[in-house]
Structure 1
Amino acid sequence: MSHPSPPPALTPQFCFSTVALRDFLRISRGAIDDSITQNLNALITPASAGFDPSSTSIRTPRPPNLRRISQSSCHTFKNQVLFPSWQVRSDVLNYCASVATSPDPDDPESVLRQVENERDRERLVDERLDPYSARFFPREARTEKLAAIIRQERGVENIIRARSWGLVTERCGEDWRDWEEALNEWRKKRER
């Protein structure tokens, strides 16, 4: 069974290094969610029913509940692997979102942005002579860039979790909850 990725050391430098942030998310997702089918298949004991040699002579669709995973194995996988992995990624994204919304006194480009904004205010635009002279692309603060990346990664995270949860509920049995409800319930149990 896979193990959740260990949480990284959360610092503003980690968040502003978008390569490190995205690498952590990619590795964590790859270990658990991208290989969810293999993780779930590992929970099945293949020899429990014995091997039938005639089963390889004809291709037949498998019965719907033949490959169900035991409830105890599913429960263990969800509580010890899947939800902790999701929680670590949520913690990282929440921390980096708080960094993105905080003031950034160490921004190396803040002086350059101020100079560009001052120049933009002084600029005279004659669109008859140059129709493109009115365009000006101000530099984004690194907190704004980070906020955009966090929004994008949260969207990716929602898609990945919905896909993974769909496979888990299909293989483990019917579960009426969506992934958000199940994760919130797990969080509540963990806090007790």
Structure 2
Amino acid sequence: MSKPLPVSSPSLSPQFCFNERVLRDFLRLSRTTIDDSITQNLNALLRPSREGFDPSSTDVRQLDATERRRLSSEACGSFKNDILFPSWQTRSDVLNYCASVATSPDPEDPDIIARQVESTKEQERVVNDRLDPYSSRYFPREARTESLANLVRNERSVEQIIRTRTWGVVAERCDATGSWEDALDRWREQKHIQRQTS
């Protein structure tokens, strides 16, 4: 199995964020490539052929396979620093950018006029609650910024769950300690220092 590559960052623009299908597809592809196949990705780092095959290894049933499945710190470090954390950072960057788009004014919203017309009609409408108690209910159409904000909020929750699960596997196979948040923060600090010194 070849080494997985992080999904490259898309060119960020408000149009990218407002096209919710494309945004979801990017996140899904990135998660599928790295997180959903984390066990396979880590298994690909095992190199039993370097040690050679020991025929006596088949004489006794191996009950504790975790010791054999532990990866070298070099392989783990390389995977985390070159593949896992860059992938997570790219997704964080995309979600942060789209969150800023969702909270910014949207003068190019194609539905803004239709919503204003609906709102005006609703204000002019005469409602008799005694005849129809439900007629006073009005649910305005959601602006695309509100829809995007909801999507980003949901995807951030999904991201938390996925990263926690992925980090559990990485921690077990790589003897990693601490939370994924701390590990990612340390990686970001190292990247920042590297950029400053280069």
Corresponding residue of 2:196: none
Q: 1:59, CA displacement in angstroms?
A: 5.2
AA partner of residue 166 (structure 1): G
Separation (CA, whole Å) in 1 of partners of 2:36 and 2:65: 25
> Does 2:154 match 1:176?
no
Distance in 1 separating the partners of 2:59 and 2:65: 17
Indicate the residue corresponding to 1:134 in structure 2: 136
Tell me which stretches of 4 or more aligned residues in structure 1 moved more than 6 Å. Answer: none
2:67 maps to amino acid: N
Quick one: distance in 2 between partners of 1:36 and 1:64? 16
1:43 aligned counterpart, secondary structure: coil
Taking only the aligned residue pairs, the percentage that are identical comes to 60
Aligned counterparts of 1:18 and 1:63: Cα–Cα separation in 2: 43
1:66 aligns to what SS in structure 2? helix
Residue in structure 1 matching 2:40, options 35, 38, 59 = 38
- Unpaired runs of 5+ in structure 2? 194-198
User: What is the rounded CA distance, in whole Å, between the counterparts of 1:185 and 1:125 in structure 2?
Assistant: 60
Cα shift at 1:20: 0.5
Distance in 2 between the 1:186 and 1:176 partners?
14
CA displacement, residues 75-121 of structure 1 (integer Å, 9 cap, x when unaligned): 00000000000000001001100000000000011111111111222
Matches within 5 A, 1:85-100: 85-100=87-102
- Describe the SS at the equivalent of 1:65: helix
**How many Å apart are 1:66 and its aligned residue?**
2.0
Q: Distance in 2 between matches of 1:116 and 1:84?
A: 45
Q: Which residue of 2 aligns with 1:65?
A: 67
TM-score normalised by the chain length of structure 2: 0.91
Q: Secondary structure at the match of 1:89?
A: helix
Paired with 1:116 and 1:4, the residues of 2 have a C-alpha distance of: 45
Corresponding residue number in structure 1 for 2:146: 144
Alignment of 1:1-192 (within 5 A): 1-53=3-55, 60-173=62-175, 175-192=176-193
For residues 62 and 187 of structure 2, the distance between their equivalents in structure 1, rounded to whole angstroms, comes to 38
Write the distance in 2 (CA, Å) between the matches of 1:151 and 1:59.
Answer: 48
Provide the rounded CA distance (Å) in 1 between the counterparts of 2:60 and 2:111.
Answer: 67
The secondary structure found in structure 1 opposite 2:139 is coil
